[in-house]
Amino acid sequence: MKVISVLNYKGGCGKTATALNLAYELSKKHKVLLIDLDPQGDISSKFNDDFENVNGISEVLMKEVDINDVIYKTGVNDNLFYIPSKLDLNDTAEVLRTKSQIAILQKTLEEIKDKFDVVIIDNNPNSVTLFKNNIYAADYVIIPINIYKNSIKGIDYTIKKLNETLEDSPIDLHIDYRIVFTMVTYIKGQPTDYAKSVMKVIKDYYGNRVLDAHIRMQSKPSQMQSFNKEYFATDDLKTSYGKDYLSLSNEVEGLLNE
Ligand SMILES: Nc1ncnc2c1ncn2[C@@H]1O[C@H](COP(=O)(O)OP(=O)(O)O)[C@@H](O)[C@H]1O
Ligand SMILES: [Mg+2]
């Protein structure tokens, strides 16, 4: 079982879109568990309108329920499952913080390591403790960057925090991180000059950490479509958005097989 955490301290950079579309595409070949670790429950609401009233990741981290009891079917296919979250994850994060529990997610995932091929975690790192739990649990961190959102500061901060967590860890953690650009604007079939310039600065600094695939800015019609509960980008390979998420999934699958 490989654990992929989709992280960035910045909001609105495509974490949820990336976690969802990656999980969906990988579930065509692998057994995939999607964990919603964002108290807003954006992933959870896609699969269950009543997500605020069911047990989820909070109760697992608080050791109130067994992880196996909160793994729900998505109904999308036979391979894609999820664990929901809700607002009380904020309180759980606070409890974990006071007890310095930064490896609880990792320990919990050990219990299901023979059940899934891939676990993908969606985040909203308002909580440093939840962020650290990700670093302990993950084999790979994928950092989506919205090139229009002060992205350079966001990436530097996220990677600084990642490295600090690794350095402070009493045990040897093996983690590999990669960067993916999202919301890349195109004109005449290629990235705009602004997009190119931002991507170049980050690529010059982070080199091979930057994935080859990038996600283009979604057109208005496909943005509307993504509100549809059944919608996944790669179901519509006529759109550049769909093609981009397919390329990203293929690249990530290559990483998993390395
Ligand atoms: N490639 C894209 N092009 C245009 N809009 C996008 C793209 N990816 C995500 N969005 C939209 O941008 C907003 C933020 O994306 P989201 O995945 O929720 O980010 P995060 O989880 O990091 O906050 C959402 O409304 C989403 O539908
Ligand atoms: Mg999100």
Residue 221 pLDDT class (50, 70, 90 cuts): low
CATH number, domain 2-257, options 3.30.70.100, 3.40.50.620, 3.40.50.300, 3.40.50.9100 = 3.40.50.300
- H or E element, residue 83: strand 80-83
Among candidates 77, 158, 154, which has minimal Cα distance to 166?
A: 158
**Is 223 near ligand 1, meaning CB less than 6 Å away?**
yes
Gap between the Cα atoms of 195 and 254, Å rounded: 26
With a CB cutoff of 8 Å and minimum separation 6, the contacts of 126 are: 39, 90, 93
* DSSP tag of 182: E
Residue 214 pLDDT class (50, 70, 90 cuts): very high
- H or E element, residue 104: helix 104-110
pLDDT for residue 222: 67
Residue 216 CA, closest ligand 1 atom number: 1
* DSSP tag of 184: B
**For residue 227, is pLDDT > 80?**
no
Gap between the Cα atoms of 201 and 194, Å rounded: 11
pTM of the predicted structure, to 2 decimals: 0.96
* Distance from Cα 4 to the centre of ligand 1, integer Å: 19
Written as one string, the DSSP assignment of 36-69 is EE-TT-HHHHHH-TTGGGS--HHHHHTTSS-GGG
pLDDT tens-digit map of 115-166? 999 999 999 988 999 999 999 999 999 999 999 887 788 889 999 999 999 9
Tokens standing for 209?
A: 């950490």
Q: What percent of the chain has pLDDT over 70?
A: 97
**For residue 223, is pLDDT > 90?**
no
Residue 123 contacts residue 38 (beta carbons within 8 Å): yes
Neighbours of 118 (CB within 10 A): 24
- The whole-chain average pLDDT of the chain stands at 94
pLDDT for residue 220: 73
Gap between the Cα atoms of 7 and 123, Å rounded: 6
Pairing of strands 32-37, 118-123: parallel
Residue 11 CA, closest ligand 1 atom number: 23
**Is 14 near ligand 1, meaning CB less than 6 Å away?**
yes
Q: Whose CA is nearest to atom 4 of ligand 1?
A: 218
**Is 233 near ligand 1, meaning CB less than 6 Å away?**
no
* Distance from Cα 83 to the centre of ligand 1, integer Å: 21
Residue 226 pLDDT class (50, 70, 90 cuts): low
Residue 144 contacts residue 14 (beta carbons within 8 Å): yes
Radius of gyration of the chain (CA): 17
pLDDT tens-digit map of 16-51? 999 999 999 999 999 999 999 999 999 999 999 999
